[in-house]
Amino acid sequence: MKTVIEVKDLRKTYGTLVAVDGVSFQVSEGEIFGLLGPNGAGKTTAVECLEGLRRPDSGLIQVLGLDPQSEGKALRRRIGSQLQESALPDRIRVWEALDLFASLAPGAADWRGLMQQWGLADKRKSSFSSLSGGQRQRLFVALALVNNPEVVFLDEMTAGLDPAARRTAWDLIRAIRERGTTVVLVTHFMDEAENLCDRLAIMDRGRIAAAGTPQGLITTYASEVRVVFTAGADDISFLERIPNVKTVARHGPRVEVSGSGPVLALVAHSLVEHGITPLDLRMEQPSLEDVFLRITDHPITE
């Protein structure tokens, strides 16, 4: 498949702070590629380097075969950017903003259609300053798509969206991809990444700590299953002696047993043997969140 984004050994510093510390990845045409990572990991910085908004210290970047620094103008016609922090003039109306962005883009999409899809038709005459947080967010996504981009960068697209709007946004992003657009998605929502991304990279402190398909990452980094139930004051230390059990942890009344293989059946059997019959015994499959926490498990850093 055609490579549309190529990043090799990207580095970006702000003074003495190394924000992006040697990052390499590729994105193929029509992929939804996710960038995950704790606050300050360098995701926005990396994406802004790809968009040509920041000058990297070193490394190679090609987006649609173009260098975002020296060929930024040509590139920006072909990409769409929804920035993490955007602003528009307070008084501009929703339709005016869309119309303005469309007028700047040759071959623009039908902005009325976008307005409809992103749930802004009712607000078409509202000023930017009167929109709610989620409505602003949806407007920024619609604006990022107005030039029919070949690659679209979405930095926390669904931050502030209500659950239904989030689902709609996912469907719309899938539809955009079906038309061949490549999507780079920065997100803090693990369900979003798991549902939407073909591949993703988890960034931590400026580096890529892990990359792969959501399921591949789960298999590699979080193969253990968890058995969860509520226990009273009962002594449950006997569970630690089950061969398949790795850890037993208590969080208040909630007990979490991690292990492998038929651990659910073994734990259930052992509990019953000891006269404990929890009503809510259940198994939780490992998720992308487990992978994320495992890879980025360190105190909040400055």
Ligand X SMILES: Nc1ncnc2c1ncn2[C@@H]1O[C@H](COP(=O)(O)OP(=O)(O)OP(=O)(O)O)[C@@H](O)[C@H]1O
| Radius of gyration for the chain, computed over Cα atoms and rounded to the nearest angstrom | 23
Number of residues interacting with ligand X: please give it, by CB under 6 A: 12
- Between CA 163 and CA 118 the distance in angstroms is 14
Number of residues interacting with Mg ion: please give it, by CB under 5 A: 2
At CB < 8 A and 24+ separation, what contacts does 247-255 make? 254/228, 254/229, 254/230, 255/228, 255/229, 255/230, 255/231
Q: Is 286 in the site for ligand X (CB under 6 A)?
A: no
Q: Which does 271 bind (CB under 5 to 8 A by kind): Mg ion, ligand X, none?
A: none
- Between CA 184 and CA 50 the distance in angstroms is 10
Q: Cβ closer to ligand X: 35 or 115?
A: 35
Closest by CA to 42, choosing from 199, 189, 212, 201, is 201
CB of 84 to Mg ion, least distance (A): 5
Q: Cβ closer to ligand X: 155 or 194?
A: 155
* Ramachandran category for residue 223: left, alpha or beta (phi over 0 → left; psi -120 to 50 → alpha): alpha
List of residues 6+ apart from 235 with CB closer than 8 A? none
Applying CB under 5 A, which of residues 34, 44, 199, 276 lies at the interface with Mg ion?
44
Q: Which does 37 bind (CB under 5 to 8 A by kind): ligand X, Mg ion, none?
A: ligand X
Binding string, residues 63-102; x marks residues near Mg ion by CB under 5 A: ---------------------x------------------
CB of 43 to ligand X, least distance (A): 3
CB of 191 to ligand X, least distance (A): 17
Applying CB under 6 A, which of residues 9, 14, 171, 230 lies at the interface with ligand X?
14
Which 3 state secondary structure label does DSSP give 201?
strand
Binding string, residues 33-52; x marks residues near ligand X by CB under 6 A: ----x-xxxxxxx-------
β 207-212/58-63 pair status: unpaired
Residue 204: C-alpha distances to residues 40, 154, 181, 271, 273 (Å):
8, 19, 27, 40, 45
Type of residue at 239: L
> Interaction with ligand X in 83-122: which residues (CB under 6 A)?
84
> Which parts of this chain interact with Mg ion (CB under 5 A)?
44, 84
Residues contributing to the site for ligand X (CB under 6 A): 14, 17, 19, 37, 39-45, 84
